[in-house]
Amino acid sequence: MKRRNFMKTSGCALAGITSCLCGLSCSSGGGNTKSSIQPNIVVILLDDAGWNDVGYHGSEIRTPTIDRMAREGIELDSFYVNPTCSPTRASLMTGRPSSRFNILGPIGYNSEQHLPYGTVTIAEMLRRNGYHTAITGKWHLGMVPEAIPNNFGFDYSYGYTGPWIDQYTHRTRNEIKTWHRNGEFIEESGHATDLMTEEAVSYITQHQNSKEPFFLYVPYSIPHEPLQVDKKWIAPYNDTIQIESRQYFAAMITQMDACIDRIISTLHEVGLAENTLVFFSSDNGGSPPGEQQKGYLDPTPVINFTKSFEKFGDNTPFRGWKGDLYEGGIRVPTILYWPGKLQPGKVIESIHIYDLYPTFAYLAGVELTNDMPVEGINIWNSINGGSLPEDRVLFWNTGRQQAVRKGDWKLVHTGRTPDSGKDELFDLREDPYETTDLSESSPTMFAALRKELAIQFAMDK
């Protein structure tokens, strides 16, 4: 596979980055060479936003802040997550496929499942090496009291444990309380998106004069249902979007975009922008429309549709939805934003969210130890204009589907195990929308990826 990175600007758009990051060497894709800087790191994660739910991808949804970040930062154009929320969060926290922990789908509000105790999360790794760590938003890696973020490397936690909440009461189905500060349930008024943002802004402001770098994780609760938003955010779409459910969905994203602007503006106002790397993405692709979604307006719906919801997210032009291992379920809009350090550009090599763990470790100057068995790779070389290893394999397992991607080729297996079910093989370079199954016409590649799938699946046991 030949390198296929390209930049928006002429010449080598990242030519100045190495000098800007004094002492930061460009290691190979899988390398763990330490850098000499420790930037602040802010991770912003949307909930259920699809590929075509941001303005810079041509969406009808207004996202001026995200669009500006894309123009001024680096688009990760082939960035992968897992097809549902808990698995993506597990991969982010551990640097590994979530199936290694048997986290195959969303953790339910009455479930006792959680990330294994003792896991050295990305937050714990950074905290051990001089960072102050905080989360203001959705955790969704354990509903039991002992599984709060504070027990997984976060010095400070605020938000809710999961899986979803009423945006105003901050409770889940059957009035279950999950809204908390450092594990203590609290009652607050206001839309969850605004409250999470206020907490993030306050945290940044408090750390403006600190010599201690920080890791701030802001996983928003929207545009996941329930569709609840102030009318002022809906008004701009009255004449441009005719489908009511899509109007509310769009309004929630625009509200969230304005909140991201507050975070970015605060970084500039307190003088931290040039020493802060901001990562923006979504936890999975957009949800499909359908009658089954109506229940998610419980417990206190702001709106009631009299028919099935016609449209939520939009993964155009990709195939599939949230829950699928086709591109629409796992390929999401993603940006790296670092004013003064990263010049505008686009990276089209395949990157997975579990690559962030070793990448952030590298930027923080951390040597990974045996209790950090990450499977992701340091992607900073690719961000600097280099290439990632050609033979790397990406893997997913949802319990009903598995998939591997190697180079341009992707195998999707529908079935509980690789031994039974249906296989589909796609050449994503020629067929990015997964329209043509090549499993019969490309037997050599098919056999090679079947072998890779079996190897990866066996590692889950």
Specify the pLDDT at position 291. Answer: 58
Record the tokens describing residue 22, joined without a space. Answer: 């004094």
pTM score over 0.75: yes
Record the tokens describing residue 14, joined without a space. Answer: 């990242």
Instruction: Check if the beta carbon of residue 149 is closer than 8 Å to that of residue 139.
Output: yes
Better pLDDT: 107 or 384: 107
Strand 335-337 versus strand 74-76 pairing type? antiparallel
Q: Which residues are catalytic?
A: 85, 140
Where do the structural domains in the chain lie, given as residue ranges?
Answer: 28-383, 393-458
Residue 173 — very low, low, confident or very high, per pLDDT cuts 50/70/90?
A: confident
pLDDT in tens, 150-172: 999 999 999 999 898 889 989 88
Specify the pLDDT at position 289. Answer: 86
Q: Which fold has domain 28-383?
A: Alkaline Phosphatase, subunit A (3.40.720)
Averaged pLDDT, 194-221? 97
pLDDT in tens, 125-150: 999 999 999 999 999 999 999 999 99
Q: Which fold has domain 393-458?
A: Arylsulfatase, C-terminal domain (3.30.1120)
Lowest mean pLDDT, pick from 125-129, 231-235, 386-390: 386-390
Record the tokens describing residue 387, joined without a space. Answer: 């290439």
Asked if the domains 28-383 and 393-458 are classified in one and the same CATH topology, the answer is no
Residue 63 corresponds to which amino acid?
A: T
Residue 393 corresponds to which amino acid?
A: V
